[in-house]
A and B are shown apart, each in its own frame.
Chain A
Amino acid sequence: QKEVEQNSGPLSVPEGAIASLNCTYSDRGSQSFFWYRQYSGKSPELIMSIYSNGDKEDGRFTAQLNKASQYVSLLIRDSQPSDSATYLCAARPGGYNKLIFGAGTRLAVHP
């Protein structure tokens, strides 16, 4: 069973701080990784995708991938109350045309 694991949270951070969200995956052959943000009652929207080891930065967001440790993370700098949402980590197992999603981490940014 291929799995993606996330801490359900809530992760509470003050406004302006760095939020760090973590994810581990079980299939060592996974090649593609995605972070989606989902507001309550809404559909997920793509925040970041990462395919290679290392860091990938886009504005206030940085995705980090460590394939040896089977670990993906998302850093949100200068967190804003509008960042309060559930963040879903997803991985595409090797040879599969589908994404496996984690249960999500709920982030709460307080003023």
Chain B
Amino acid sequence: DGGITQSPKYLFRKEGQNVTLSCEQNLNHDAMYWYRQDPGQGLRLIYYSQIVNDFQKGDIAEGYSVSREKKESFPLTVTSAQKNPTAFYLCASSSGFNEKLFFGSGTQLSVL
């Protein structure tokens, strides 16, 4: 079945630690996105990538980094510079510029 796989489902970060969230898609989509969702709030865009080896900052990129070395993969690293990382992280993809987003199942990140 085609879809987007995020892992892990739950992740705990210690202070000063970098952690990486995985996102893999087999939909052959060109565009991939990372969103952050805080309780009672909408989705805020962290980073997005329209093609391999290219990505752009979203609205809240500070403290995060990404890479897009393969079409299928778009990992997100939450660095120690992100002082409030506790949130639900959603990866999404779309086939093109004006197309709908398909979401992964999400990763809940918490701070120990």
Counted as pairs of residues, one from A and one from B, with CB atoms less than 8 Å apart, the total is 45
The answer on a CB contact under 8 Å between B106 and A42 is: yes
> What are the residues of chain B within 8 A of A102 when measuring CB–CB?
42
Known contacts A42-B105, A43-B105, A44-B103; A31/B42 CB under 8 A? no
- Asked if B84 lies at the interface with its beta carbon under 8 angstroms from chain A, I say no
State the Cβ distance, A96 to closest chain B Cβ, in Å.
9
- Asked if B53 lies at the interface with its beta carbon under 8 angstroms from chain A, I say no
**Interface stretch of the complex, out of B65-73, B75-83, B93-101:** B93-101
> What are the residues of chain A within 8 A of B11 when measuring CB–CB?
none
- Asked if B21 lies at the interface with its beta carbon under 8 angstroms from chain A, I say no
> What are the residues of chain A within 8 A of B111 when measuring CB–CB?
none
> What are the residues of chain A within 8 A of B33 when measuring CB–CB?
98
The answer on a CB contact under 8 Å between A99 and B101 is: yes
Residues of chain A whose beta carbon lies under 8 Å from any beta carbon of chain B? 4, 8, 31-32, 34, 42-46, 49, 88, 92, 97-99, 101-104
Residues of chain B whose beta carbon lies under 8 Å from any beta carbon of chain A? 31, 33, 35, 40-45, 48, 50, 58, 90, 97-98, 100-106
Which 8 pairs across A and B sit closest by C-beta, in order of nearness? A101-B42, A43-B103, A101-B43, A103-B42, A43-B106, A97-B97, A46-B100, A102-B42
